Every structure is written in structure tokens, then in C-alpha cells.
A and B are shown apart, each in its own frame.
Chain A
């Protein structure tokens, strides 16, 4: 066989390694960054590691990821191999049918498989959580194992097992001693693929999980609201663990037994992920064990399930609450009211939800919420009158306000002439002067609010004609202005000053202005969405008692201060709001922090099912128009 230097292959290989590892190295470097930026390194610091270790959520997601992956890999490797051997000896018709069945998760786009699992669990009322995630992982891993093992079995001599048995082997001996060794490479690569798929899975886990169970992917997805370098820290931890285990496995045996047999070397390839994962689990269990304290606190051993927006709580509030009450808080995050609604409507049980105004109205209308026991609440007097007793919940029978604010325009004072804003209001998003320099926020409600307000209509209009005009306005915007339609990426991007203008929530604007003093926040005179998010307790809550305690805690000065100062959204607690915006406060002089209360054009969203559906559909179409405009 020709060997030679093969410089082309070598160069390609090197480039490939660089390609694969560049982002990883970049991530490791920036996990030590002192600042939050992902593009400029400002100094060495371990703060993100500290942050990571203090976060129960992160450590638990690691545990979930690896424990699910290990169990799913083990089970699917064994079951898949046995099934493949069995199928290869089955009647042709069964074999053909099963091949098609196995192809379902392989040949289907992942999202279709994910939706299938979700519908399955929901239809049969299986409570979504760790077990459903594990079942789904096993289900999609087995076909990968079969796919890798099958060709190996096909290439075997069909008489091999017979020969073994003729020579006196029992069927199970023939299987274990003759067939399995022949197909080992297939089993190894199959289990490798299964493990990799499971560790890496996002889409399927995302659709089938519940009860606050998160793997790394889901956690990263929900934590990404703000640039959060502790994600880099936790990833670096994973890299380090895998590297250490690799070194141990590849180097240590070489010292111990230099005469290791060839097939043992092969076996190691499969052991690597397994051992790595086991180490990770042990490490995490260890860390979790250390966190357990015992003492007598009022809610010792109980669990509170909170369903909240992503990045909507302070750095310490959950831990402080846990320490004070002895309860454990499991938090799950959503990034739209609709997402939350669908889960609640499908019977998932939470103790606390934090939806917005119009969604609370809908939840009350449809009977999903329980009335609060005001004798257990001592926080109402501390809250500002502006967000109490609102039309969606008169007398606050069901809800206690959490954050509130407006939706407005964040702009770079160096790039945008304030007179343009004053003259044009929201129509500045159609001003070609700023073409290619704007962000739209990917929320149907607020995009239509902007368009309707630009046209001088009510944002609660039910008039199809007006909605159509708003739709045309938005289509014109996406077709002529080259906007980027973003979600929370807008926060970091505006803080870095990447574009001139964007539609933004006031709380996010507060954060942006706090990070970058060149940024301003403008509310057009034609009105805005005066929104509020509030804590509610669903009817199927498992622990309403503890939920009331949490509502008190989050509304009290310490909890509310932690939330508001960290997230940047306006607190419903009067004193916190005054302290943060007042002299020496974190947000002194930032106009976005104090919601406007003197404009008659400002409105609160009212829920109307038909209109909501129409707007959803139209917004999908706007986004389609935007991608077709490229």
C-alpha cells in the first residue's frame, strides 16, 4: 500500500482540527474573562466559576445531562444490539417492516420526532419530567445502535452461529462468544453515536421535559437571555473532565501494562465516554451532597415549582429563600406567555407562574388560577399603587405584581438624531436613513403594538382592517429596512452599541443603559404597552402554602431589591423602585426604569382569542416575508 507524505490530507486534517477546536478554545478563554463581553478580553477572573458552583440549577443540569446519557446509552446499546441480532434472523417481512419503523426517528426531522413524543406523553397523561426525557432518549438512541450494528451483522457469514453450535456451543454462548465479538466495532460506534446524540440533544429534550428537569442544552437555551459567561465556565468544566478521563485511560494503562492486548485497546474507545460520564456524575453528586444541610426550618424538605421568564430573578433570591425556609426551589423558564400557557393548559403542575397582564386575564377566564389567600400575604402594602388593582385582575384576587414597565425604543445617542425620534415616533423604523441599523423584537404582541401605535390605532383593536394595515406596515419595514429580528440578543448587542435602534422592553433598556451610557430610551407620544408581570398560583399547584411564602419573599424589600437590581426591570415594590432610581441608586438617571404614567395613549393589553390568533398568524407571515427579503 502506498503510504507517502500525503501533504494535502495532513493540511486538511490540521485545518479540520482547528475548525473543530477554535470555538472550544475561544469559549475556554472567555470563561476566565473578567467582563461579560464575548468579544473583548478585559482581565483574568474566576468569578464565573464561582457563579457556576453556587448555582444549583447549573450543577443539576450537568447531572441530568450525563445521567440520562449514560443510562440511555447503556440501555439502548444492549437492547439495540439484541434487537439487531434478533431482527437479522427474523422473517424478511418483519425485518423489512422493522427497518422502516427504526427509520422513523432516523429519517424524520428531529423536531417531528420530538413532537411525536410530546403528543404521546400528553395524550396518555404521563407527567413530563426526568422519566419521560429518559424514555425519549432511549427511544431515539436505539435506532442509531441498530443502524451501526446491522451492517456488521449483514457482513457476517450467516452460518457462523450454526457452526458454533455444531461445535457444541449453547445459543447464548454462540451469541456472546462468536457473534458479539465479530460485531464489536459496530456496537462501539453505535453506542458512541447514542451517547453523543443523547449528551448533545436539545430539540427532543426540550419538548418532552417538565417539572423543572433540564439538561445542559435546555439550561443554556433558557439562560441565554443575557450573555452569561458562566455557561462558558460550565462547558470548560466538561472539557476538563473529559480530558482528564481521557488522559487517565490512555496513559495510565500504558504504564501499568505495556503488553496490553490489541482488542483491549479497542475496548477503551467505548469506555472513555462511559467513564468520563460516571466521573462527572460522581463529582456532581458529591457537590450536591455538600450542599445538603439539616436544621429545622418551616418548609424543610418541601419543593416549590416556579415557572418564570428566563433571567428574571436576582442572583441570590432563590438561594436565600431556600436557606430561610428549608424548601428547595425548582425553576423552569419560558420565553413567551404563550409557551407558558400551553404547558399550563396541558396540565403541568407549578406552584408559581409569572405571566403578563393579558395572559393572567386569560388564565382567570379559563379557570386555571386559584384565588390568593390574602390573610397569608403581608406584602400588598409595600407595592406601588400603579400596578395594583388593574383591569385584568381587580382587587388583586389572583395576582401579585412582580415587574412592570413599558415597551419603547432604545437608541444610540451618537447615531440617532433625537429630533428624528420626536418627529417620527415608531415610524423611524421605516426611515431609510437607518436601514440595516435596526433591531425588531421577536414578539408578536409588541411588534403589532408598535405598528398599530405608529398608525394611530389602539393596540387592542379587533378591527381586521386595522390589523391588516399594521401587517402591511411591518412587511414594509422588513422588506425595505433590513432589520434584524432578535429576541434577547438585543440586550447584549445594544449594550455593545452594534446598531442604532431597537424595539425593547424598558427593563432591558435599563440594563443596556446601565452598561453603555451612550444609549437612550425613547417612548413615542403615540403610546406604548404599559405591561406588568405578576405572580399567580395555578389551581393544580402542589404547594400553595409555600407559594404564598414565596410571593411574600419576592415582594419584600430584600428579595425585590435583589431581583430588580440584577435584572434591571422595574420592581413593583415602591421602596425598592425609589431606592434604585433615586440618588446613589443603581439606576439613577435612567429614564427607562421609571414607567411613564402620564400619557393617555398608553394602554394595557386585553386578551381576545380571535385577535390573538390573527396576530400570531400575521406575525409568522411577517417573519416569512423578512426571510424572503434577504
Chain B
């Protein structure tokens, strides 16, 4: 239906200005020298060299990816069963449960993160519960654990909702067919449900991994200033150091790495779709 294809034109123009141009600007800044204007500039690759020749920066990058991976895995492990449970409830209950998961997201993310500070800090509720059960450490807050907790708390709903959407979309008669043909419940799950929910899983991973890898206020609030991630490094370059060119270079590096990672994940989805056709 070619006629409908014209509907995309205004958006293509908009996307060129609002999505492509900004990235082009970052790319431009990342290979130029000096100043916050584009009127006078000279090309250089120094910013990239600076990043890749310094082990400290590389460690930060690695750590940021690592904590985002941990967050994503935890969200997947916790989120999938929850999404599955919700998908198998009656529709009325489903709506309520989905709402229950969505509501916290409407309450500001920073506010919810602050609430954790009160819960985790010395004398807070969770701290007291831990002590009650014989834990003797002094710090819950400002540890890697608290950063991880903050990230899982903030991003888990995205995972649940995405997987849930995929599961609800699924044709339930397929499950019955599978059972009728003699598949055990576990087999049905592995062979039918899981592959069909994969697009949701992929979307969920995207929606969790990306904010997690670049978050700078969760590490700042729950990790303290000594928990420095790549997002903090970029923010620092733009907000306080004023080295926009170096900051742009780090942003480009991040963007490219994320593209590659996400393309790899998407490939899993594609392969899965290809497999079905055979």
C-alpha cells in the first residue's frame, strides 16, 4: 500500500533534524579542537587517543558495562517469572497488576531513589532489618550493592512490561496445541512460550541495559562520589570540566560500543525468526 508510505515523510524530516543532526554534532565535536562553537575548529583525534591510552578510563568503561550487565541479568531473572505470572492471570487481574507495576514509574525516579537512601542508611529500616538478622557490616549505602539495587529498582518495571506485552500477544491456542500433541509443560514453555516472548525480552534488555550503563545520578546518590561510572565521567566533562570535545569523544565511544552490543543482541532475535521459517 504505497499511499500510506507518504505518512512517514514528515517524521523522516523531523528525525533528520532531531535525531541524526545531534549525533552528527557530537561526532563533529569529538574530532575537533577547542571551544564551544563550531565556527572555528581544527581536526584532531587526540581525544580518542587520550581515552584509549589511559587504563583508568578503560577500567571505568568496563566497570560501567559490567554493572549494567548485572542489572540486566537480575532484571531478566526477576522480571520474566513476574511477567509470566501476570500474563496467566485473568484479564481483570492482569490489568490491575500491570497498573501496580506502572504506578511507581509515574512517581519521580529521583524521588524514589532518595527514598532508598533513607531505607539503606545507618538506622534506616532495611539497615535495621539486616542487623536484626545478625548482619554486622556497617554500610549498606555507598556500596556496589546499593548502586545495583537502585538500578534494578528503577529499571525492572521496563523489563516486566515488555515481556508481559509479548506474552499477552501470544496466541494461547498454541499452548493448547502443544499440550494436545503431548508436550510436557516444561517442553511447551521452552519450545513455544520462550521463543515467542523473545522480542519482548530483547526490548526489555534494551530498555534496562541502556539507562543502566549511562546512569549518573544513581551511582551519585547511592554510590557516593567515589563510585564513578562512565556516565559520571561524561557529565563531568560537560558540566564542570568544560571539555566538550573530550566529552563528545567519550560519548561517541559509548554510542559505538552500545550499537555493537545491541546489534549482537538483535541478531539473536533475527536468527530466531529465521529458524521458525524452516
Contact = CB atoms under 8 A, between A and B. Distances in A.
Interface in B241-278: 241-244, 247-248, 251, 254-255, 258-259, 262
Interface string A81-94: 01101111111001
A115 B251 contact: yes
Contacts of A336: 239-240
B142 A115 contact: no
A498 B122 contact: yes
B114 A224 contact: yes
Contacts of B112: 23-24, 27
A106 B231 CA distance: 16
Contacts of B82: 9, 12-13, 16
Interface in A99-132: 101-113, 115-120, 122-123
Most B C-beta atoms less than 10 A away, residue of A21, A79, A87, A119: A119
B239 A342 contact: yes
A490 to B, nearest CB: 10
B224 A20 contact: no
B110 interface: yes
A226 to B, nearest CB: 12
Contact of B165 (A189, A224, A436, A628): A189
B214 interface: yes
A26 B234 contact: no
B121 A39 contact: yes
Interface stretch (A43-51, A479-487, A600-608): A479-487
Contact of A341 (B109, B144, B242): B242
A613 B240 CA distance: 10
A111 B7 contact: no
Contacts of B228: 623-624, 626-627
B225 A89 contact: no
A624 B125 contact: no
B213 A104 contact: no
A338 B224 contact: no
A40 B123 contact: yes
Nearest to B124: A39
Given A17-B100, A111-B251, A498-B122, A220 B4 contact: no
B241 A617 contact: yes
Q: Which DSSP category, helix, strand, loop or mixed, fits chain B's interface?
A: helix
B85 A20 contact: no
Contacts of A498: 121-122
Nearest to B262: A107
A123 B23 CA distance: 13
A6 interface: yes
Given A175-B4, A620-B241, A345 B100 contact: no
A629 B63 CA distance: 12
By secondary structure, the A interface counts as helix
A479 B137 CA distance: 20
B69 interface: no
A9 B106 CA distance: 25
A217 interface: yes
A489 B255 CA distance: 32
A442 interface: yes
B19 A102 contact: yes
B49 interface: no
Contacts of A162: 1
Q: How large is the interface on B (under 10, 10 to 19, 20 to 34, 35 or more residues)?
A: 35 or more
A89 B85 contact: no
Contacts of A107: 206, 210, 255, 258-259, 262
Contacts of A110: 210-211, 214-215
Nearest to B50: A617
Given A107-B259, A151-B199, A269-B95, A616 B241 contact: yes
A272 B9 contact: no
B157 to A, nearest CB: 7
A246 B103 CA distance: 10
B169 interface: yes
Contacts of A109: 210-211, 213-214, 230-231, 251, 254-255, 258
Nearest to A341: B242
Interface in B133-150: 138, 142, 144
A102 B144 CA distance: 33
Interface in A1-26: 1-3, 6, 8-10, 12-13, 16-17, 19-24, 26
Given A89-B3, A485-B224, 19 more contacts: A1-B88, A13-B97, A23-B116, A27-B115, A30-B118, A38-B124, A39-B118, A82-B8, A85-B4, A87-B11, A98-B11, A101-B15, A108-B210, A162-B1, A200-B106, A232-B111, A246-B103, A269-B98, A484-B226
27 contacts: A9-B84, A20-B153, A20-B157, A22-B119, A23-B153, A26-B115, A27-B115, A89-B1, A89-B2, A89-B3, A90-B8, A107-B259, A115-B247, A123-B25, A138-B18, A142-B11, A189-B165, A200-B108, A269-B95, A341-B242, A346-B36, A483-B226, A484-B226, A485-B225, A613-B241, A624-B57, A626-B226
Interface of B: 1-12, 14-16, 18-23, 25-26, 29, 36, 38, 56-57, 59-60, 63, 78, 81-82, 84-86, 88, 95, 97-112, 114-119, 121-125, 138, 142, 144, 153, 157-158, 161, 165, 168-169, 172, 175-176, 179, 185, 199, 203, 206, 210-211, 213-217, 224-236, 238-244, 247-248, 251, 254-255, 258-259, 262
